[in-house]
Structure 1
Amino acid sequence: MSDTGDLPSHRIAAAIRERIAHGDLAPGDRVPSTRQLVRDWGVAMATASRALALLRDEGLVATRTGSGTVVTGRRGPGSTTLTRDRVLAVAVRIADREGLAALTMRRLAGALKVAPMSLYRHVAGRDELEILMVRAVFRGNPLPRPMPAGWRERLETVYRLQWRLYRSHPWLAELTLTTRPPLAPEAMLHSEWTFEALTALPLDPPARAGVGLALPALVHGLALAALHEVRAEQETHLRNEQWWDTVETEASDLLRGAGFPRLREIDALAAGASGLEGLDAAFELALGHYLDGLAAAAGPGPA
């Protein structure tokens, strides 16, 4: 069954609603008549009448004798002006709940109850929408000011925040590749903090550049694993430990064979050590060991 936002009457109402919201139709102005809507949209008279009835129910228009249907100058219950911030907030919510693949301009317009073309007043297209979503997430979760004093504290602050963002918005890992990062100033500040922290260590420029790439790549790799686990749970409707239960017999038979003595030792812990909770623990372990390695390489000293 189609979403009501796909009905012709709802699409017509959304288009007129947008014209009112943006001031193209001011209070007292006549809105298109049912006959004009029939001509412009190629719909039946009953469909055009239903579109105007929707707007009357919202209190956006009223029918006046001798004047036709005019804008009332007041907004209906629950109606809000379409803004870029509202577009981004709903886009992020859809991506969080349904994944980035589900976020189409048509789907977004339906959730906002507007005509799809009205979105292009606020974003140029899908590519810009994705960049703006990344910026909105990072802007809404800023790094603290002032910066922590020590290099290790700074790096822990940056990458723990990044991990929280990846876990709250799994799709973010698809749009923040470490080799081709988005040109988003709010996200670029994380890299600036990283390189600023690394100046406190005795690293030559090539080594500093390598560390500055390896550390975010480590966190991003775990974030991609979390994204795939979220997708797997959505597709199979099984949590990680439930999935392990379904393959337990096959996995045990395989591990009893020659060549996997160490894997047999951890077989009973496999489900508990994986899944999203296991990835949270793996992140803390990986970050701690990496920073321990940097500290050991730096040696004793003021840094």
Structure 2
Amino acid sequence: MLTCAQCGTELTAAPRGRRPRYCSRSCQARAYRARLGSRPDQETGRATGERSAPTPALRAEPRSASDAGLSRERIVRTAIGIANADGLESMSMRYVAHELGVKVMSLYNYIDGKDELIDLMVEAVFSEDGERLPGGGGWRAELEAAARWEWALYSTYPWVLEVIATVQPPLVPSLLAGFERGLSALDGLGLDPVTTHHIYLGVSGIVQGLALLRVSEIASERRGGHISLSQWRAVKVPAVLEELGTDRYPRQAALHSNPGVLTDLEEIFEFSLRRLLDGISLFLEGQPGPSPEG
């Protein structure tokens, strides 16, 4: 049986090419550090890994003069800047090292690999911005504030949506704390935990669904897209409807004189959020227990 040389996880060999030795880049990096640590120090003759020091992933001091000033926080901030400017798909350990002016393996003294780096990026973003959410004012005011904060987050950090809107988001403390604050908006209403989760996830889902358009728009602008959302709605859509026959799509053709209606994402977000909160209010009014606030 073929297993990872670092952690022992079972591997599946490709039908062609070299047989893999590691299950991930993180394991490959750990093995590299282990080999590096076993080499004799030229001055002391001891293995470099024998001295009492923090583990490489938490190492506090740089290994060389060229790494002076390097820290986990600098690495994370640099990675966030890259992801904001060029997208998460462009962010790599090599790119981050290039921006910092260090060798790529220097980063592994502080971070295990790209997966951990992304977790730390999410942790930094949520811990920095999430604590600013106001409290009080009733369930509606608090849910509305949480939704607006999340909407603004995706406009500032578009890559975050790609990371957390999945079935396996990073379970970092600040993200869990933000989720807990959102759920707490419904405290005291006599709701069971499942209903509370359904309500909060419904509000967050509206935000994330509309944010897909916003993030796509930002990505298009970053790539130098030749047509914007407003141009698409004002030019492309009417042209296609005219070619296919407006009588086949009369309801869509009726918007031809108001193309901006479907391109103002802020207005669509505001309308959708208000209507969803109205519906939740009606639902809570029919629930037994304390009368809902807000």
Give the TM-score, by structure 2 length: 0.69
Aligned with 1:168 (options 156, 162, 181): 156
- Counterpart in the other structure of 1:103: 91
CA contact (8 A) 1:96 1:169 kept: yes
Aligned with 2:273 (options 269, 274, 287): 287
C-alpha distance after superposition, 1:49-77 (max 9, x if no partner) = xxxxxx8xxxxxxxxxxxxxxxxxxxxxx
Shift in Å, 1:245: 5.5
CA contact (8 A) 1:195 1:208 kept: yes
Find the aligned partners of 2:153 and 2:247 in 1 and give their Cα distance.
42
| Stretches of structure 2 lacking an aligned partner (at least 5 in a row) | 1-59
CA contact (8 A) 2:234 2:256 kept: no
C-alpha distance after superposition, 1:263-290 (max 9, x if no partner) = 11112323x2344xx2222222211111
Aligned with 1:239 (options 228, 243, 248): 228
When residues 25 and 208 of structure 1 are mapped into structure 2, their CA distance, relative to the original with a 3 A threshold, is closer
Which deviates the most, 218-227 or 142-151? 142-151
Shift in Å, 1:258: 2.6
Shift in Å, 1:229: 1.9
Find the aligned partners of 1:146 and 1:253 in 2 and give their Cα distance.
49
Shift in Å, 1:146: 6.4
When residues 244 and 298 of structure 1 are mapped into structure 2, their CA distance, relative to the original with a 3 A threshold, is closer
Shift in Å, 1:178: 5.3
Amino acid at match of 1:212: Y
**Counterpart of 1:81 in 2: which secondary structure?**
coil
More helix by share: 1
C-alpha distance after superposition, 1:170-217 (max 9, x if no partner) = 111001125333202112122112221123435344322322322212
**Counterpart of 2:106 in 1: which secondary structure?**
helix
How is 1:221-236 mapped onto 2 (pairs within 5 angstroms)?
A: 221-235=209-223, 236=225
Q: CA RMSD in A?
A: 2.6
| Stretches of structure 1 lacking an aligned partner (at least 5 in a row) | 1-20, 27-54, 56-78
When residues 194 and 249 of structure 1 are mapped into structure 2, their CA distance, relative to the original with a 3 A threshold, is closer
Amino acid at match of 1:159: A
- Counterpart in the other structure of 2:8: none
Amino acid at match of 1:266: L
Find the aligned partners of 1:124 and 1:155 in 2 and give their Cα distance.
36
- Counterpart in the other structure of 1:257: 246
Q: Which has the larger radius of gyration?
A: 1
**Counterpart of 1:121 in 2: which secondary structure?**
coil
- Counterpart in the other structure of 1:267: 256
**Counterpart of 1:247 in 2: which secondary structure?**
helix
Which deviates the most, 292-301 or 282-291? 292-301
When residues 160 and 280 of structure 1 are mapped into structure 2, their CA distance, relative to the original with a 3 A threshold, is same
Aligned with 1:117 (options 86, 105, 111): 105
